[in-house]
Amino acid sequence: MTEPSESQPAPWVDVMIEVPRWSFLKRGASGEIDFVSPLPCPFNYGAVPDFVGLEGDLLDAIVLGPRLAFGARVRMRAWGAITLIDRGMEDDKLVCSAQPLDPRQELAVRRFFTFYARCKGLLNALRGRTGRNACGQWRTASQAIARTRPREPGWRGPSVRF
């Protein structure tokens, strides 16, 4: 695992929860249902409202630990990030928790997103959407945040349809 160094500690981020742990429903920033999953999400999944990621949507984040309510806002340390490639577009997901991740937790995140990328690839094929789907590399949270842009006041959501 790529650990934050003493010179570059794990950054603090504010995360808004869109998918509580073990939920089947994914809601976007508007609160409307974006997606109904055939499998529950093993993590609290949300977004960092201050940043727009590479694919034009808010920077994604997962929060390890107990189930959090939909709409909850938590301030957590981001210990790393995993990159998901969806239809050829890279999308970093910050991995946040109260404590540094142990190797077992990092492996669980990698396995989940590897499986998720395969499922998303199948769904995209059924929808006639082309492009590579894969779980990409692990990076530091600071590296992932550096790949974003600040959310502007007039931001109206992603231009890409998911």
User: If you ran DSSP here, which 8-state letter would residue 8 be given?
Assistant: B
What sign results for the dihedral spanned by CA atoms 159, 128, 132, 35?
positive
Which single residue is written with the structure tokens 């199948």? 122
pTM for the whole thing? 0.89
Q: Tens of pLDDT along 39-64?
A: 789 999 999 999 999 988 999 999 99
Question: Cα(149)–Cα(51) distance, rounded to whole angstroms?
Answer: 6
159 three-class SS: coil
pLDDT digit string (tens) for 8-19?
Answer: 689 999 999 999
Domain spanning 12-148: CATH 3.40.47.10 = no
